A and B are shown apart, each in its own frame.
Chain A
């Protein structure tokens, strides 16, 4: 997983968790506060409803007030009539118009006066017996005969014959406190229920009269659950949750107590909790929707930003990966001024430094080699300078002279050869000399050697005149001859012949030194051949190596080749390019 993905996911995780918990908390809070508000408002509207019910009822009580104070009417009602027609006439004359005008103006469905005055039972004036079912004590005491009480009466009830009507009963005993006149007004309960319908269609309402009879309820349910509900109303002021027929409702109840006649009347409302919660569930949906939208937006932004932040890092990383350890290169300038660019700069500095160090090591190695070379050169030079050729040559000549004087001719010859040899070898230092000179050196050397080995050494120099002028590396032949003597002659007891020859071969000079000496194992020849190509540090065969390598530098076909047969002899051959190519080395 790359850093960008990590950054994306970590960021995402943190933000999502934080936002989710924030949204959750806020949503919960909002919902509960909304629920509270709704409940409160339900309570308020119930209060208002109770008020409305109260005032609806009050308007009818005003009719009762009016008739209660109407002494004239009560006087008429208490009159005794002899015949029915008389009573009938009185009724039509005075009572009926009054009752008619009252009921017409106030939407009273039925207005009746119950009296124990049996001589005046006409039309809306009815026998008191018809009221006995209401269970009113004042009525009962009137019916029983004997002493009649003087208590007043004003009460609301549900009409017996018409359960959809509310009835107000008022005792009309203002004129005569013992009169058994009872006013009974019936109105449509719809006056009250219409108030309720305006509240809302899904809430359920109950209006209970003080005597426990329910005026109106829009609660659907069995009688038992309703009874339970009614019982629980007592403690429902301020809102409670009840369960009715499996559904939860918020129950609010209000008790009227403004007047004696309505005291104890209860108005209750049942709000289905599901409905309340449905309203608040909108909040939840919106919260979720908002959260998801925000999440989507955040994902996009996060993706982009994480990419941008980590881009330079990634670029840096990919550049670094592409760096070849073997050929370290700086990765190029990283723009910016932050940690990433610091890294870039540091890397480049590091690379540069490393390059410099590598260079230094290489250089120092080279210098060491050069030093070695210079040291040897210096030694050589020191040797060379220490040995004044004239000094040597003169001394040797003196010796030679001395020897000659003494009559020691052989030794004088040797010394003379030695002096020659020194002179030749320490002569002009140069890279190449004409073949003639080289042959001179070789011959001198051979004559000296012949002195050492008088019986064992035989030699021959076989070189064409034409080739004498060609240039060859100084002391190159001499080395070969020296080797021939050391490795060919010395090990062999019997006489050895050394032949030095030279010939032209394909634009090169081929110099050959053959001997029939001890010979050379081919394996050994190969070994030495191999060593010639190496730049070995040991002092062995420095000369051969030196010459061979010098010649090799002009081409691999040049150089020294060794060959031999053990017991039969060896051949060292040297191919030298024509002096034009050698140049002045």
Chain B
């Protein structure tokens, strides 16, 4: 009895002790919890060879191009859930190329995956920053293989390995978003009675007329023709319009003729002709003085101030940056019509191309990744039909519905999007948006429905009445109706990356070109123009134009051969 009592007492006391200690622990836990909220990234779990359903989500670090993207928007969350991952976005702000270069210099590129243009893919590859993807695709990339089918080798680079991912072009219809790149404002056209502008002379006259009667708007000078520096590149402001204006396929820094001969763009007559046009504009005070120094933001500002009448506005820039803003502010009359203007309207305009792959902003897996399988699985998921619907359409019930067997964007979501162009960042955007991992508009998935909501009908319905009115004046429904035949190309030269041997030469050539171009365009008269042009040509020759041209011509030839075999 005594012993029992003692035992019981001891038990009771130790219970009390435990309670006290337990109290301390949970207290500490609560404290730690509170202090660590919002703290640094948790270490990502190690990748398992065969993932099970109860596995911890993998943290994937992604290089993201969109500063406004909300990583917790519904689509991102859903993607997280479906692929059992969480996202750590490393966002690129400002000059992208600068950023990519600095990342490479410091080795601070995102740990898992990032998106790069083909030339930077090549840079990164040679610097050893990329993981070869062949084996990973074999094991974890069934959707990638399925989408490519027998054209799987299109993913390979010149050394035969795969370093970046991009989708093939599967659509049979052209993208309804295609439009020409030379833009002219509605009111200018209206003033002139809606002429269809086909040549630069026409354009010049049109602008001149309008400028004379409207030298200023709201106290600020009118700018008949404008351009911007393409995020520090500067080159695209001069090269792309040259190709378009000449009806040539845009091969980057070179022109390539039907016999696969290459010529340095900066030496071509085509460029000279375009420069002459610009110079003419400049001497008539119709070219924006800040043509070479203005950034995107600055140009948008000038446009929204209503000062800019025309310019070379590529669709990938004007649609998100300009059209949305003008529509949202109701400034319909200051929107732009897009014409495929060329110097020689009788010649065939081949400048609008369609490629076998959509290689442009391609996805790579960094060599630092600790769980490349998980990254590949994520990227592969985006390749699947489900993934495409998620990143292009959004979430069923929230962004779209299936009406009469067809996917349709929900009406009220559509309205909200039109009123607030930034809604996409908090609703449907992902780092994959707009990159080469989404199937082109007009592609149909296995279920027979479109991969993206952008169809001719959706584009038309997105037009405001003024736009429809203007289009109607030309008897067109959409801007792509103005386009000439689309050229099917296996690849483009600028996608093939740098050639190491001549990289320095190319750099010098480009610098000489960019330095001299403004001088040429600012020439007071024809004499000065020719002199300055010749002077540039001399510099280019000195800097090794011939060597570079040969190298790239060779590259083109070998690439064409390779593609012949693949496409057989």
**Contacts A109-B93, A199-B38; is A104 near B98 (CB within 8 Å)?**
yes
- Contact assessment for A89 and B518 in the assembled complex, using a CB-CB cutoff below 8 Å: yes
Q: Nearest A residue to B295 by beta-carbon distance?
A: A110
Chain B CB within 8 A of A427 CB? no
Known: A103-B94, A300-B12. A85 touches B30 (CB 8 A): no
Is B519 in contact with chain A by the CB < 8 A criterion? yes
- When the two chains form their complex, are residues B26 and A201 in contact, meaning their CB atoms are under 8 A apart? no
Q: Contact check: which of A89, A198, A289 meets B19 at CB < 8 Å?
A: A289
Contact of A107 among B94, B290, B518 (CB under 8 A): B94
Q: Complex Cα distance A198/B294, Å? A: 36
Instruction: Select one of A85, A104, A283 contacting B518, CB under 8 A.
Output: A85
**Complex formed: what's the CA distance from A89 to B522 in Å?**
10
B192 near A: Cβ within 8 Å? no
Nearest B residue (CB) for A91: B293
Q: Is B15's CB within 8 Å of the partner chain A? A: yes
Chain B minimum-CB-distance residue to A304: B5
Q: A200-B38, A283-B27, A286-B24 are in contact. Are A293 and B94 (CB under 8 A)?
A: no
Most buried by A among B23, B93, B519: B23
**B9 and A290 within 8 A (CB):** no
What A residues does B411 contact at CB under 8 A?
none
Q: Are A282 and B16 in contact (CB under 8 A)?
A: no
Selected from B23, B31, B34, B518, the residue in CB contact (under 8 A) with A286 is: B23
Partner of A188, one of B15, B16, B93, B290: B93
| Structural contact, A198 and B93, CB atoms closer than 8 A | no
Q: Is the CB of B19 within 8 A of A290?
A: yes
Closest Cβ–Cβ distance, residue B25 to chain A (whole Å): 9
Q: Given A293-B15, A294-B16, A297-B15 in contact, is the A201-B518 Cβ separation under 8 Å?
A: no
User: How long is the Cα–Cα vector from A84 to B95 in the complex, in angstroms?
Assistant: 27
- Docked CA distance A182–B372 (Å): 49
A105 beta carbon closer than 8 Å to chain B = yes
Give residues of chain B (289-307) contacting chain A, Cβ–Cβ below 8 Å: 289-290, 292-294
Whether A290 contacts B38 in the complex (CB less than 8 A), given A85-B522, A304-B8, comes out as no
Contact yes or no, A300 B8, CB < 8 A: yes
- Given known pairs A88-B518, A89-B518, the reply for A286 and B39 (CB within 8 Å) is no
- B232 interfacial contact with A, CB 8 Å: yes
Smallest CB separation, A231 vs chain B (Å): 28
Contacts of A290 in B (CB 8 A): 16, 19-20, 23
Asked whether B102 is an interface residue with its Cβ less than 8 Å from the other chain, the reply is yes
Chain A hits for B518, CB < 8 A: 85, 88-89, 92
A96 proximity list for chain B (CB < 8 A): 293
B290 with A123: CB separation less than 8 A:
yes
Residue numbers in A under 8 Å from B102 (CB-CB): 104-105
A202 touches B37 (CB 8 A): yes
User: For the complex, what is the distance from the CA of A199 to the CA of B40, rounded to whole Å?
Assistant: 10
Interface string of B267-294 (1 = CB under 8 A from A): 0000000000000000000000110111
Rounded to whole angstroms, the CA-CA distance of A290 and B39 in the bound complex is: 32
The answer to whether B39 and A297 touch across the interface, beta carbons within 8 angstroms, is no
Closest A-chain residue to B34, C-beta based?
A279
Interface code B99-121, partner A: CB below 8 Å = 1, 0 otherwise?
00110000000000000000000
Complex CA gap A308/B8 in Å reads 13
Check B489 for interface membership: any CB of A closer than 8 A: no
Q: Is the CB of B12 within 8 A of A107?
A: no
* A-chain residues with CB within 8 Å of residue B95 when the two chains form the complex: 103-104
Other-chain contact of B293, A122, A275, A278 (Cβ < 8 Å):
A122
B13 an interface residue at 8 Å Cβ cutoff?
yes
B515 close to A (CB within 8 Å): yes
A275 touches which of B15, B22, B34, B98 (Cβ 8 Å): B34
Cα separation A287 to B24 with both chains bound (whole Å):
10
- Once the chains are docked, how many angstroms separate the CA of A103 from the CA of B94? 9
Interface string of B522-558 (1 = CB under 8 A from A): 1100000000000000000000000000000000000
> Which has the most chain B C-beta neighbours within 10 Å: A201, A202, A275, A279?
A279
> In the complex the two chains form, is A308's CB within 8 Å of B5's CB?
yes
Contact of B1 with A by CB under 8 A: yes
Complex interface: chain B residues within 8 A of A287 (CB): 23
The verdict on A198 contacting B39 (CB below 8 Å), with A123-B293, A308-B5 known, is yes
A108 CA to B39 CA in the complex, in Å?
A: 26
Contact with B along A77-120 (1 / 0, CB 8 A): 00000001100110111001000100111011100000000000
Q: How far is the CB of B128 from chain A (nearest CB, A)?
A: 23
Contact B293 A124, beta carbon cutoff 8 Å: yes
**Complex interface residues of chain A between 125 and 141 (CB less than 8 A to chain B):** none
Given contacts A100-B232, A282-B27, contact A197 B38 (CB under 8 A): yes
A293 contacts B39, C-beta separation under 8 Å: no
Q: What's the nearest-Cβ distance from chain B to residue A15, in Å?
A: 12
What 0/1 readout, one digit per residue, does chain B (27-55) give for beta carbons within 8 Å of chain A?
10011001101111000000000000000
* Chain A positions within 8 Å of B34 at CB level: 275, 278-279
Q: Which of A279, A296, A308 contacts B1 (CB 8 A)?
A: A308
Interface residues of A in 253-285 (CB under 8 A from B): 275, 278-279, 282-283
CA distance A301 to B13 in the complex (A): 9
Structural contact, A84 and B289, CB atoms closer than 8 A: yes
Question: Which chain B residues lie closer than 8 Å to A93 at the CB level?
Answer: 515
Q: Give A390 to B37 CA distance when docked, in angstroms.
A: 140
Report whether B15 and A198 are in contact in the complex, using a CB–CB cutoff of 8 Å: no
Check A305 for interface membership: any CB of B closer than 8 A: yes
When distances are taken between beta carbons in the complex, the residues of chain B under 8 Å from A300 are 8, 12
- What's the nearest-Cβ distance from chain A to residue B284, in Å? 14
* B35: chain A residues within 8 A (beta carbon): 200
Task: Check A201 against B94 for contact (C-beta < 8 Å).
Answer: no
Contact with B along A194-223 (1 / 0, CB 8 A): 000111111000000000000000000000
User: A24 in the interface, Cβ–Cβ < 8 Å?
Assistant: no
A293 and B27 contact, CB distance less than 8 A: no
Inter-chain contact A198/B292, CB cutoff 8 Å: no
Shortest distance from the beta carbon of A106 to any chain B beta carbon, whole Å: 10
Q: Which residue of A lies closest to B98 (CB)?
A: A104
- Among residues of A, the one whose C-beta sits closest to the C-beta of B21 is A290
Closest residue of A by beta carbon distance from B2: A308
- Taking the closest CB of chain B, its distance from the CB of A12, in whole angstroms, is 14
Does A445 make an interface contact (CB < 8 A)? Answer: no
Minimum C-beta distance from B242 to chain A (A): 20
Specify which of A104, A188, A200, A294 is in contact with B37 (CB 8 Å cutoff): A200
Contacts of A104 in B (CB 8 A): 95, 98, 101-102
Residue with the greatest number of chain B CB neighbours at <10 A, chosen from A88, A96, A107, A109: A88
Residue A9 at the B interface, CB < 8 A? Answer: no
Chain B positions within 8 Å of A202 at CB level: 37-38
Nearest chain A CB to B19 CB, angstrom units: 4
A105 to B105, CA, bound (A): 11
Q: CB of A298 within 8 A of chain B?
A: yes
Q: Nearest-CB distance from B293 to chain A (Å)?
A: 3
Complex Cα distance, B523 from A328, in Å, reads 144
Closest A-chain residue to B31, C-beta based? A279
B285 → chain A closest CB, angstroms: 11
Tell me how far the C-beta of B450 lies from the nearest C-beta in chain A, rounded to whole angstroms.
Answer: 37
Question: Judging by beta carbons under 8 Å apart, are B23 and A289 in contact?
Answer: yes
A437–B31 CA distance with the chains assembled, in angstroms: 126
Chain A nearest CB, measured from B244 CB (Å):
25
Contact A88 B522 (CB under 8 A): yes
Q: CA A297 – CA B132 in complex, angstroms? A: 67
- Across the interface, which residues of B come within 8 angstroms of A100, CB to CB? 232
Known pairs A85-B523, A122-B289, A283-B23 / 15 extra A-B pairs, C-beta < 8 Å: A104-B102, A105-B102, A122-B290, A123-B294, A197-B38, A200-B35, A279-B30, A286-B22, A290-B19, A293-B15, A293-B19, A297-B12, A297-B15, A300-B8, A300-B12
Binding site for B on A (CB under 8 A): 84-85, 88-89, 91-93, 96, 100, 103-105, 107-109, 122-124, 188, 197-202, 275, 278-279, 282-283, 286-287, 289-290, 293-294, 296-298, 300-301, 304-305, 308
Closest 10 CB pairs of A and B: A123-B293, A286-B23, A297-B12, A85-B522, A201-B38, A104-B98, A293-B19, A282-B30, A294-B16, A290-B19
Can you show 5 pairs from A to B with CB atoms below 8 A apart?
A103-B95, A104-B98, A104-B102, A108-B94, A122-B290
